[in-house]
Amino acid sequence: MRSNSLIIILLLLLSGCATQPYGSFIQNPSTIYSKVMADEVTAQIVRLYPAANTQFNLRHTVNDPFGHALIENLRVAGFAVQERIDSDNSLFVSKILMGDSLPGIAINHQEDGASQPTGLALSYIIDQSGDLYHVNITIDDTRLSRAFVAQADSVHPAGLWVRKE
């Protein structure tokens, strides 16, 4: 009994390490910094992928200024973007969108574990160490990384893009 409990605890700990959180890990992110970094990321994505023929499917919900700016930039550039709806709020959103006047229309929303439509999976991680910001974008199996430095109330690239496939 005791050895089974230890094995279960060990498996739970290992499964927690296998899942990588995505999104922004910056406390009180600057909207201006987020917009500048999202503009740089969008410019790099435009160089690598054809806009009219590419759809991005977000792997995680977006709840930060960088993510909102990135989605807006990608759509303006001509990319299709499928956002992920938080499964806790999807029923609430569906009820608001459906209302009582539209009983026959189904709202297509994505929940955890649901199959994704065709397109490229997109996720990002943004973190900060002092005045240095690090942006890591993952598109399917390709990773794009770049550092940014905050100087004089603005943020500037601190190096070139790094691409890993």
Per the domain annotation, does 8 fall within a domain? no
- Going residue by residue through the chain, which has 165 residues, state the pLDDT in tens, using 9 for 90 and above: 565 555 555 444 444 444 558 888 888 888 999 999 999 999 999 999 999 999 999 999 999 999 999 999 999 999 999 998 765 544 444 444 444 444 443 444 445 555 545 899 999 999 999 999 999 999 999 999 999 999 988 999 999 999 998
Q: What is the pLDDT of residue 108?
A: 47
Per the domain annotation, does 51 fall within a domain? yes
Q: What is the pLDDT of residue 94?
A: 40
Q: Which domain holds residue 49?
A: 22-164
Question: Residue 157 maps to which CATH number?
Answer: 3.40.50
Number of domains in the chain: 1
- pLDDT tens digits, residue range 45-71? 999 999 999 999 999 999 999 999 999
Q: What is the pLDDT of residue 115?
A: 55
Q: What is the pLDDT of residue 85?
A: 79
Per the domain annotation, does 64 fall within a domain? yes
Instruction: Spell 80-96 as b/e; 16+ CB within 10 A means b.
Output: ebbebbeeeebeeeeee
DSSP states of the chain as a string? Answer: -HHHHHHHHHHHHHHHHH----EE--SS--HHHHHHHHHHHHHHHHHHS-STT-EEEESS---SHHHHHHHHHHHHTT-EEEPPPPHHHHHHHHHHHHTTT-TTPPP----TTPPPPSSEEEEEEEEEETTEEEEEEEETTEEEEEEEEEETTEEEE-S--EEE-
Q: What is the pLDDT of residue 20?
A: 57
